[in-house]
Structure 1
Amino acid sequence: MSTTKKIGILGGTFDPPHIGHLRLATHFAKALHLDALLLVPSGEPWQKGIDITPAETRLQLTEAAGIDLARAFLYLKIATQVGIDRMEIDRTGPSYAIDTVKALRERFGVEASLTWLMGADSLVALPSWNSWEKLSQYVNFAVASRPHHNLTMEVSSELGQFLQKHQTSDVAALEITPSGLIYIDESLNIDLSSTELRDRLKSSSRSTIATEQIPTHTLEIITNLGLYQ
């Protein structure tokens, strides 16, 4: 058994967190035998415009989702600890992933395997991230495919070159490698987005939103606070 510390990182606006986030987290927690999985809500999501729920409220929603995720891990006998990290909320200025991965590398040390979890849509958009090519110096990437996202068709030439250099078909390699690898998992298709859920919560179909789409504790807070109306 590897003694390397294995940490998964799931960042995002989480406006709101949804079952897609939890499915992705659960899938990779099991596949990568993660010791811990950190949910990192962004403080100032600079690519998302101005119509964003306040950071402290999104943190509260993420903490609630973390409760359901931890219970799912317990039920599925996945020995991964769930943590909610507010570093991006506490950091002033725009939330850049590069700052987050540098801080996490410093926290966990040079030998730990750090893996950033994302969907295929985020991978396609990676070249728009701040200092994106430097991210692989600090973390691996585990990418879940998404319906309607044909990576072959959507990957830019610069991202294609990046993938040629870093992509691996061996998921186990991420467990023993601190950073620099990209694994694309074709077995998991997640077709939920926070944008679509917000639109539904603001529409007449709000009452049809169920725990199949939003975690139970998160939905309870959304209802109690009257969010997304």
Structure 2
Amino acid sequence: MNTPQKIGILGGTFDPPHIGHLKLATHFAKTLNLDTLLLVPSGEPWQKGAHITSANIRYQLTEAAGIDLARAFLYLKIPTQVGIDRIEVDRAGPSYAIDTAQALRERFGATANLIWLMGADSLLTLPSWHRWIEFTQLINIAVASRPNYQHTAQLDTALSAYITGHQVIEAKDLEKYPSGHIWIDEHLAINLSSTDLRKHLHSSARGSIDAEQIPSHTLEIINKLGLYQ
């Protein structure tokens, strides 16, 4: 029998993509033994408000970050393939995760293990996502912790009930299910945000941004196009 594909999905505004995104992707690619990891920049991030960089520019920045991610995988001998997916950039209207999950489920089939990767801050906002219960039925979720986020103390009732009924204890347990389960990894803590980096890029300290914060190929495009000034 063929082993079902394990597909990691890291969605986000990526305005801009940063090293925190790449560290999360690398950690889960290795820990979950992913066959493929897809970076999915949002087209119209409906929860982010105004003043978002255009979707095509953010896609270009994410493509550049993907080069650094693929090189990191090669160096670390992680066999996961990296893909940058235009599925939300090319889709008209608000970028709802439920629509992306449905499309990817159709693409990869009913038996594929689709794992949505997110940080603890995103987990806390999950009940605000469009048709979030249906979304969780289409995919698995892997969550990375984040400094200063005590998620167990901040969960609303519906989300707490979902986690209680669907949480697995070990990463390997996600392999048993194509969808419908959640694993919370308490061992990875990332403290970078695109919001903070945009503020830094907009300040007089812009020149102090380096490849320890933003992937080198992404930073090259940011400087070349004069973004975030």
Residue 179 of structure 1: how far off its partner (Å): 0.4
Extract unaligned runs of 5+ from structure 1: none
Please give the alpha-carbon distance, in whole angstroms, between the structure 2 residues aligned to 1:49 and 1:128: 15
Say what the alpha-carbon RMSD is for the aligned residues. Answer: 1.0
TM (norm. structure 2) is 0.98
Partner in structure 1 of residue 18 of structure 2 = 18
The superposition leaves residues 44-67 of structure 1 with CA deviations (integer Å, 9 ceiling, x where unpaired) of 000000110000000000000000
1:178 and 2:175 correspond: no
TM (norm. structure 1) is 0.98
Residue 2 of structure 1: how far off its partner (Å): 7.7
- Percent identical: 67
Partner in structure 1 of residue 226 of structure 2 = 226
Please give the alpha-carbon distance, in whole angstroms, between the structure 1 residues aligned to 2:23 and 2:198: 19
Please give the alpha-carbon distance, in whole angstroms, between the structure 2 residues aligned to 1:210 and 1:72: 17
1:196 and 2:196 correspond: yes
For residue 188 of structure 1, what is the amino acid of its counterpart? L
Residue 32 of structure 1: how far off its partner (Å): 0.6
Helix, strand or coil at the partner of 2:88: helix
For residue 29 of structure 2, what is the amino acid of its counterpart? A
Partner in structure 2 of residue 207 of structure 1 = 207
> Which consecutive aligned stretches of 4+ in structure 1 deviate over 6 angstroms post-superposition?
none
Please give the alpha-carbon distance, in whole angstroms, between the structure 1 residues aligned to 2:159 and 2:120: 12
Residue 137 of structure 1: how far off its partner (Å): 1.4
User: 8 Å contact 1:12–1:42 — kept in the other structure?
Assistant: yes
Greater Cα offset, 176-185 or 19-28: 176-185
Alignment of 1:71-110 (within 5 A): 71-110=71-110
Please give the alpha-carbon distance, in whole angstroms, between the structure 1 residues aligned to 2:64 and 2:198: 17
Number of aligned residues = 229
The superposition leaves residues 176-212 of structure 1 with CA deviations (integer Å, 9 ceiling, x where unpaired) of 3100110000100000000000000000111111100
Alignment of 1:126-165 (within 5 A): 126-165=126-165
For residue 18 of structure 1, what is the amino acid of its counterpart? H
User: 8 Å contact 1:4–1:176 — kept in the other structure?
Assistant: no
User: 8 Å contact 1:33–1:175 — kept in the other structure?
Assistant: no
Please give the alpha-carbon distance, in whole angstroms, between the structure 1 residues aligned to 2:2 and 2:143: 22
User: 8 Å contact 1:124–1:151 — kept in the other structure?
Assistant: yes
Helix, strand or coil at the partner of 1:67: helix
Greater Cα offset, 18-27 or 162-171: 162-171
Please give the alpha-carbon distance, in whole angstroms, between the structure 2 residues aligned to 1:2 and 1:118: 28
The superposition leaves residues 1-21 of structure 1 with CA deviations (integer Å, 9 ceiling, x where unpaired) of 981210000000000000000
Please give the alpha-carbon distance, in whole angstroms, between the structure 2 residues aligned to 1:134 and 1:162: 12
Please give the alpha-carbon distance, in whole angstroms, between the structure 2 residues aligned to 1:162 and 1:190: 24
Please give the alpha-carbon distance, in whole angstroms, between the structure 2 residues aligned to 1:106 and 1:95: 17
Residue 174 of structure 1: how far off its partner (Å): 1.4
